[in-house]
């Protein structure tokens, strides 16, 4: 082993620093700094997915980071991206909830303002605090926060929501065969998309596609059985889907999944012309009619006007499906009517709504829960369109807090409900 004097050690360290790529300390990283996030992704050589409308700089909001997360090819990058996502939710948790618990709570209840039809698409808005901004299930804060909302003594929390309402609406409006098949044939959307995006990759593995539903199910089985190649192809399809659903063009797809513009163009064309041609045709006809009328009819007589149809086409098209969260408000109104008729005002209470979901508290007994289950499910599953192909689905859940809920099957008996209650 070599022995060094203090002078030799110093000289060796100085020589090492001169040869090092970085000779200065890196400042602490702030996950909320737009500048530092831009520099981070530039250093990794990752192309921006969006740009600021005011400065033109790369924009790395949560939507873009989540989109990148779907296509990340290393666990290390995914871990960092998840950190960014968690951090963005932490600000909402701190500002919108933790501080609000003391600022807006009265006794053991938290009150919020809700403005009906607060958005262009007739969705409600909220403030003080905005309870519509509950963290998604992907957030590490979702369950701990929801555990804070508990039922009063002698009651349980109940919730019910429309399953994939926007997708069901657009399937019914467009009558697109593949979109409908996701629901009627039990297909996995990401598997269906991968089959449409990458036919050349899949044909050597699965053979020629002569029956799309059967082919997708074959692909799904391979993924379920652990085929690593098929799992990777399915994963590769998530990034384009996220962007294409919101109007992305080939250049953005190429940037997202790091492919050539030619390959991205094929994916773009397959999405619009092979996978979901019915949706593309429906969108084009909507824009054509909107240019003539100056508005789109969202539903139930509600119109959304625009002075620049081409520029606002994305918002106008999205409004056609987003508007139908109004079904939730109509369901609440109908439920209140039924509660009044049955004289159950003290047993069943609606406390809030978040777009496609309804929340409340209910007396902790099987008879009350059975009544609610048999009343609310038919209300929410009633067709909202003439000749509706894809039916609405909704399932009641109950529990002691907003986080730990158990789903009930339709028309569950009092004995089955008692069994659920005994395990809460």
User: Whole-number mean pLDDT of the chain?
Assistant: 88
- Output the DSSP codes for 249-270: -HHHHHHHHT--HHHHHHHHHI
Give me the phi and psi of 159, to 5 degrees please: -150, 150
Give 7's contacts (C-beta < 8 A, 6+ positions apart).
Answer: none
When pLDDT is cut at 50, 70 and 90, the band that residue 12 belongs to is low
Q: Which residue has the higher pLDDT, 133 or 333?
A: 333
When pLDDT is cut at 50, 70 and 90, the band that residue 17 belongs to is low
> How many Å apart are CA 394 and CA 377, to the nearest integer?
6
Q: How far is CA 329 from the centre of its chain?
A: 20
Integer CA distances (angstroms), 199 to 185, 191, 192, 237, in order:
21, 12, 11, 12
349, 361 contact by CB (below 8 A): yes
What is the number of other CB atoms lying within 10 angstroms of the CB of residue 151? Answer: 19
Q: Which residue has the higher pLDDT, 28 or 328?
A: 328
pTM listed for this prediction: 0.81
Give 72's contacts (C-beta < 8 A, 6+ positions apart).
Answer: 78, 81
- Output the DSSP codes for 351-399: EEEETTEEEEEEESSHHHHHHHHHHHHHHHHS--STT-SSPP-B--EEE
Residue with tokens 């799309």: 212
Nearest to 266 by CA among 256, 253, 278: 253
When pLDDT is cut at 50, 70 and 90, the band that residue 128 belongs to is confident
257, 244 contact by CB (below 8 A): no
Provide the angle, in degrees to the nearest 10, between the axes of the packed helices 165-174 and 277-293: 80
For 283-311, b where at least 16 C-beta lie within 10 A, e where not — what string?
Answer: beebbeebeeeeebbbbeeeebebeebee
Beta bridge partners of 160: 358
- Lowest mean pLDDT of 194-203, 236-245, 392-401, name the range: 236-245
Give 160's contacts (C-beta < 8 A, 6+ positions apart).
Answer: 357, 358, 376, 377, 380, 394, 395, 396, 397
pLDDT exceeds cutoff 60 at 7: no
Q: What is the pLDDT of residue 192?
A: 94
> How many Å apart are CA 232 and CA 169, to the nearest integer?
30
What does the pLDDT look like over 52-93, one tens digit per residue? 888 888 889 888 888 788 777 678 888 888 888 888 888 778
- Lowest mean pLDDT of 9-13, 302-306, 403-407, name the range: 9-13
When pLDDT is cut at 50, 70 and 90, the band that residue 2 belongs to is very low
Q: What is the pLDDT of residue 24?
A: 55
What is the token pair recorded at 274? 């092979």
Average pLDDT, stretch 156-160?
98
Integer CA distances (angstroms), 15 to 1, 7, 19, 336, in order:
21, 12, 6, 78
Give 275's contacts (C-beta < 8 A, 6+ positions apart).
Answer: 178, 192, 193, 196, 197
Q: Which residue has the higher pLDDT, 97 or 200?
A: 200
Nearest to 55 by CA among 36, 32, 35: 35
> How many Å apart are CA 190 and CA 152, to the nearest integer?
41
What does the pLDDT look like over 312-371, one tens digit per residue? 998 899 999 999 999 999 999 999 999 999 999 999 999 999 989 999 999 999 999 999
pLDDT exceeds cutoff 80 at 136: no
> How many Å apart are CA 321 and CA 344, to the nearest integer?
34
Average pLDDT, stretch 285-307?
95
Q: What is the pLDDT of residue 138?
A: 66
Provide the angle, in degrees to the nearest 10, between the axes of the packed helices 366-381 and 414-422: 110
Average pLDDT, stretch 254-277?
86
Q: What is the pLDDT of residue 100?
A: 80
> How many Å apart are CA 305 and CA 311, to the nearest integer?
12
């Amino acid at each position: 082993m070599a022995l060094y004097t203090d002078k030799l050690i110093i000289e060796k360290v100085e020589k090492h620093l001169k040869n090092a790529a970085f000779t200065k300390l890196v400042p602490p990283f702030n996950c909320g700094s737009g500048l530092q996030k831009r520099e981070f992704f530039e250093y990794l050589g990752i192309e921006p997915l969006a740009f600021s409308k005011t400065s033109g700089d790369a924009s790395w909001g949560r939507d873009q980071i989540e989109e990148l997360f779907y296509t990340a090819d290393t666990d290390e990058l995914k871990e960092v991206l998840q950190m960014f996502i968690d951090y963005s939710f932490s600000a909402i948790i701190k500002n919108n909830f933790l501080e609000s618990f003391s600022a807006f709570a009265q006794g053991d209840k938290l009150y919020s303002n809700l403005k009906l039809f607060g958005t262009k698409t007739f969705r409600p808005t909220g403030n003080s605090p905005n309870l519509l901004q509950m963290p998604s299930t992907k957030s590490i804060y979702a369950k701990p926060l929801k555990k804070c909302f508990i039922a009063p003594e002698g009651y349980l929390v109940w919730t019910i929501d429309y399953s994939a309402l926007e997708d069901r609406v657009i399937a019914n409006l467009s009558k697109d065969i593949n979109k409908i098949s996701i629901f009627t044939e039990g297909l996995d959307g990401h598997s269906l998309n991968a089959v449409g995006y990458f036919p050349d990759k899949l044909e050597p593995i699965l053979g020629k596609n002569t029956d799309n539903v059967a082919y997708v199910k074959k692909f799904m089985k391979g993924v379920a059985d652990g085929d690593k190649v098929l799992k990777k192809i399915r994963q590769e399809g998530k990034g384009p889907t996220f962007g294409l659903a919101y109007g992305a063009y080939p250049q953005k797809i190429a940037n997202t999944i790091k492919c050539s513009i030619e390959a991205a163009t094929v994916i773009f064309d397959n999405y619009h012309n092979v996978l979901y041609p019915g949706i593309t045709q429906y969108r084009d006809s909507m824009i054509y009619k909107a240019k003539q009328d100056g508005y789109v009819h969202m539903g139930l007589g509600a119109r959304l006007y625009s002075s620049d149809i081409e520029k606002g086409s994305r918002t106008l098209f999205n409004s056609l499906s987003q508007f139908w969260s109004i079904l939730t408000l109509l369901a609440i109104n109908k439920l209140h009517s039924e509660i009044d008729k049955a004289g159950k005002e003290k047993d069943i209470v609606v406390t809030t709504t978040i777009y496609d979901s309804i929340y409340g508290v209910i007396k902790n007994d099987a008879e009350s829960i059975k009544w609610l289950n048999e009343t609310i499910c038919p209300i929410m599953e009633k067709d909202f369109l003439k000749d509706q192909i894809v039916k609405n689905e909704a399932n009641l859940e109950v529990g002691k807090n907003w986080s730990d809920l158990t789903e009930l099957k339709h028309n569950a008996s009092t004995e089955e409900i008692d069994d659920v209650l005994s395990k809460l």
